[in-house]
Chains A and B, each alone.
Chain A
Amino acid sequence: MGLIRGALAGAALAVGMASAALAQTPPAGRATLLAYPGVFRDNYSQVVVEPFQRRAGIQVQYTEAGNGTSAQMLGAIRAQRADPQVDVVIMDVTTAALACAEGLVEKLTPAELPVLSEIDGLARSAGGECGPGVTYDHLVIVYDTRAVNPAPAGLASLAAPEARGRVGLNSPPNILGLGMAAAIAHKAAGDWRNLNAALTTLRGIAANTQTFDPNPDGYTMVLNEQLRYAIGWNARAQFYRDQSQGRLGVVLPEEGAVFQINTINLVANAKNRTQGLAFIAHALSAPAQAAFTERMFYAPTNTQAQVAPEALNRTAAAPHYRSRVVPIDWNEMVRLRDSWNQRWRRDVVTAAPR
């Protein structure tokens, strides 16, 4: 009897040890990631996804929705609510807030995802109870360094006579347009919500604007010599600057740094929840964050990430940028968006006939 009891105890101990080992090792299998296309996909796959696949033995299928905007990603997970085909989604913070409110993505806790304790407060709060910020970025002016000298100091410089017909802006409700208007309002009135204070400058810029809808994007149109100035996001701008060997200039506008946060989310009722969670833990980890920052200049949200100073200084995390942040509450911006859109069309675009 004693022998049997001892054998059972031994077996239980062995099962327990095996379970503990399993709990520490991410399970093999697969997960589906929905994120941005183009250069983001190319670089994220190389420095974040592929190392994870090698280390964890989990196959990650990188997918895109439509032309890759966050809104289209939200559309995809809305349509798949009853039968999710995606496990993890990376989308901008305003769209992610809608996904969180609609119950399309899961709430995440430090108990389940310990790496959350390493995440910067702004990135953690940006996602609310759902997925935290995985990258920081900020609004910049891009310009053609061959045709423009000196570099523009700020957004107001785009209203100068020499910029006539050479500016590309993204209109609200695009978040670039909303961010630009908020930065000008913040500079003019000390309050990013005060659109009235920004209207004079916005009309001046609009009068110089060739297109309010640069296609495929402002960076490409500047490099194609269709435009001399455009607005864009720092990470892509820095990437294109290197690719164009400095032809594309990048300037943080003197009006301030408008932060944009991409969050990483676990889709509700994901088929590969455990694998998806393991990927999120990896994407938020310090090494993955540092690697992606050094590759593409998205600032890390993990406070432990050790990033080469030359790369860090070109990101939104650089101290000289952090001190000039325009304190936009993007959830509040969503509520203001419709009225800003109407004011933009009525008071800004009409001032810019062609």
Chain B
Amino acid sequence: MIGWLLMLPALAAIGLGFLWPMLGLFRISLNRTAESGAMEVALTTDTYAKLIGDSYTWQLAADALGLASLTAAAATALALPVARMVRAASPRWRGLLAVLAVAPLLISGTARVVGWVAVLGDRGLINALLQAAGLTREAVPLIYNWTGVRIGLTESLMPYAVLVLIAGLGRLDPRLEQAAATLGAGRARTFLRITLPLAAPALAAAFLLCLVLGISAFITPHLMGGGRVFVLATEIYELALESVDWPAAAALAMLLLAALLLAIGLRGLLARRRAEAAR
């Protein structure tokens, strides 16, 4: 009982800050958009039926999932050596290195994207270096396409993966790696046979977090995609703020939320089954 009472402020905050707006969004998704574009108050699932029956919605979902999977995998893979380095550092430096690794989170996503434009743009740093070295004559398109979005999203997801991996790897017993080395295993073998299997749950958790963030990412695809990259989040933005079709935007947002909750639920179910099997 006391536990519930202590939870009341948090539950109230979640209810007011998340559930109530989500209910409002769900209510809008049941309205109808007239042919004139005006929103009509209604209670209909027509918008859901139209979106689910439209192959373009599935294409957007597939593209969003593909982008998120690739960038989540890349961010997790790139975060692993960073997390290992932080873990291997002396306690004196560990805190500072961890802060440095997640420092990009202190900068707004928009500002980071603007930074990428200066680096990857047609007149950006990389193209300037390539042309100065005589390797290319024309600008290599590194931004305003899928390539740019993949680079930007991987970078923006990496700090999250580093955070999860630092926490996950911190629980590993370093004596296991030392034992493998004592028994003659090289660094690569120790990593592949000992570290990687033990780190698998942390890697999976980091991947899942990045996947969820990647599927719902908006700023990077919007600002670095140059109008060529269409995913669910950019479509929701366009429906809400360009076409002003709020019911469709709200319905697509609800479908995205449902898919993400399903993914997290499935992951929880699998983890529980694995834990039961291990007992």
Contact = CB atoms under 8 A, between A and B. Distances in A.
Contacts of B246: 75, 78
Contacts, number: 81
A215 interface: yes
Contacts of A173: 238, 242-243
B51 to A, nearest CB: 13
Contacts of B243: 173, 337-338, 341
Given A71-B244, A226-B122, A210 B144 contact: yes
A349 B234 CA distance: 15
B228 interface: yes
B39 A102 contact: yes
A335 interface: yes
Interface stretch (A43-51, A93-101, A237-245): A93-101
A334 B241 contact: no
A101 B34 contact: yes
B37 A213 contact: no
Interface centre among B35, B227, B244 (most CB of A within 10 A): B227
Contacts of A210: 122, 144, 226
Given A331-B36, A342-B56, A354-B226, A165 B139 contact: yes
Contacts of B123: 225-226
A78 B244 CA distance: 11
Given A171-B227, A173-B242, A349-B228, A211 B36 contact: no
B255 to A, nearest CB: 18
* Interface size class, chain A: 35 or more
Interface string B227-243: 11010000000101111
B37 A98 contact: yes
Contact of A213 (B36, B117, B227, B240): B227
A341 B245 CA distance: 13
B222 interface: yes
B141 A165 contact: yes
A179 B170 CA distance: 58
Contacts of A309: none
Contacts of B214: none
Interface in A323-354: 331, 334-335, 337-338, 341-342, 345, 349, 352-354
9 contacts: A74-B244, A98-B38, A98-B39, A165-B138, A171-B227, A174-B242, A210-B144, A213-B222, A354-B228
